[in-house]
Amino acid sequence: MQYRRIGEVQVSAIGLGGMPMSIEGRPDEARSIATVHAALDAGITLIDTADAYHLLAGEVGHNETLIAKALASYGGDTSGVLVATKGGHLRPGDGSWTKNGSPDYLKRACEASLKRLGVDAIGLYQFHRPDPTVAYADSVGAIRDLLDEGKIRMAGISNANPEQILLANEILGGRLVSVQNQFSPRFRSSEPELDLCDRLGIAFLPWSPLGGISRAADLGSAHGEFTRVAEAHGVSPQQVCLAWMLAKSEHVVPIPGSSRPETIRDSAAAADLVLTAEELASLD
């Protein structure tokens, strides 16, 4: 496993996204816990979750609770694992996603996440998605307060544009450590954010890096060049995709979602897959 940095913390170059374990189509708890354990066995030390990763209205924080249980039941040392969670997105239970970026709500959400994760301070707390009804500076100001109060160790944002990244970093006094945006072969419009993070030395965490839960399995057929490169190396197109992302910047840390041990093992192996300059050019 290769390693990168989020703030001053060293993490595996590939992380684990927990969302598929808790929303529609989620597996039983035993398989989800086995998936987390497989990720840890493969050397993954970054796990991304959120209080909004749940299905029913009455189970807010389902994924946070699941991740905490998986870590507690793991036989090895988990002290070096960074758990990143998020607040500001909600699921009413009807399949929709809503937003609440008010400072009071974000502070309450953080307190609840602290309890579910069973920690004194959250390793990385991220503002999940901008709320158009609340000034962005006010939402990020709440994250700054949580950082100053020691309730979170590092601060990040998600689903942000370049202007919001710069504003957040200013409000946080230069302490913004990560930006989590959608980025994949089929969704490349976050290139400006990736480039900005590279220039600023901020970690860029691509979510749905393989195209999303319903499309990940078809990545190779939808993007034939990834299949061609994969065949040359004897690996999966998905593994090539993650290696391609890693080659874009030393600050990129993909967080593919997974709910099966075999898929997260395959993703983790991408950290050690080296592609040629010619192959990378063919994928861009």
Residues ≥6 apart with Cβ < 8 Å to 153: 121, 122, 123, 124
- Which two structure tokens, joined as six digits, stand for 138? 């006010």
The dihedrals phi and psi of 69, each to the nearest 5 degrees, come to -65, -40
Q: What is the mean pLDDT of residues 251-263?
A: 97
Contact 269, 239 (CB under 8 A): yes
Q: Report the C-alpha dihedral over residues 230, 232, 235, 237, rounded to 10 degrees.
A: 0
Q: What is the pLDDT of residues 39-81, one digit of tens each?
A: 999 999 999 999 999 999 999 999 999 999 999 999 999 999 9
List Cα–Cα distances, 83 to 16, 177, 196, 202, in angstroms: 10, 14, 24, 17
Which of 182-186, 216-220, 241-245 shows the lowest mean pLDDT across its residues?
216-220
* pLDDT tens digits, one per residue of 130-169: 999 999 999 999 999 999 999 999 999 999 999 999 999 9
User: Which pLDDT score, from 0 to 100, does residue 220 have?
Assistant: 84
**SS3 category, 241:** helix
pTM tops 0.75: yes
As a whole number, the mean pLDDT across the chain is 96
Structural domains in the chain, CATH included, are 3-218+249-274 (3.20.20.100)
Active site residue 125: no
SS3 at position 89: strand
pLDDT beyond 90 at 180: yes
Torsion of CA 141, 144, 146, 149, to 10 degrees: -120
List the one residue out of 156, 182, 152 whose CA is nearest residue 169.
Answer: 156
Nearest to 6 by CA among 250, 271, 274, 228: 250
pLDDT at 212: 86
Active-site annotation holder among 53, 105, 125, 136: 53
Tell me: pLDDT of 218 over 90: no
pLDDT digits (tens, 9 = 90+) for 114-130: 999 999 999 999 999 99
Q: Is residue 1 helix, strand or coil? A: coil
B/e letters for 107-120, b = 16+ CB within 10 Å, e = fewer, are bebbeebbebbebe
Question: 22-26, 141-145, 216-220: which has the minimum mean pLDDT?
Answer: 216-220
Task: Annotate 249-284 with DSSP letters as a single string.
Answer: -TTB----B-SSHHHHHHHHGGGG----HHHHHHH-
